[in-house]
Structure 1
């Protein structure tokens, strides 16, 4: 009986995994060994952060881009001010 229950849970997990829209990434912390050292990448409160110099200068970097690719459909969509303004205008 226990094996049947576990098998049903595995089938259910397969269905959930095919529906990434059910999931929302709230926060994540990653450590990455890059060419120039170890980087800490995080996502929290709707924003990505990285410890590299390029991120400090530009607000994004290859480390964040790689993390987004690894996360695939779970990666949060970038929020830019123009899309926020458009959605706000359409609500009026």
Structure 2
């Protein structure tokens, strides 16, 4: 039988998992076995990268698209559609 503290942590984790807006993807590295070989996919500083030829030619690829679908709501919005942060000046 699990102890009560662990059960509370599991419930809290389940609650957090239902709120993806609490998370910000900063960086990630993935290895993917594609149809034509192993691809290395990374995300850092707001940019995706892939080792495939199509990415080098076009700046995106099916491997990145698949990673975005897999990560779902954790993938940041493009910067031009992100809401601007309001400046909160206590003296205003």
TM-score normalized with structure 2 length: 0.82
Equivalence for 1:65: 65
1:40 corresponds in structure 2 to 40
| SS class of match (1:25) | coil
Structure 2 residue runs of 5 or longer lacking an equivalent are 85-92
Structure 1's unaligned 5+ residue stretches are 88-92
How far did 1:75 drift? 1.5
Question: Aligned-residue CA RMSD in angstroms?
Answer: 1.5
* Residue 21, structure 1, aligned to residue 21, structure 2: yes
Report the TM-score when normalising by structure 1.
0.82
Cα offset for 1:77?
1.9
Q: Relative to total residues, which structure has the larger helix share, 1 or 2?
A: 1
Count of residue pairs the alignment pairs up: 81
| Whole-angstrom distance in 2 between the partners of 1:35 and 1:76 | 27
Q: In the aligned structure 1, how far is the partner of 2:71 from the partner of 2:27?
A: 12
| SS of equivalent residue, structure 2 residue 3 | helix
Report the Cα distance in structure 1 between the residues aligned to 2:23 and 2:14, rounded to whole angstroms.
14
Shift of residue 78 of structure 1? 2.9
CA distance in 2, matches of 1:18, 1:76: 17
Separation of aligned partners in 1, 2:22 and 2:44: 19
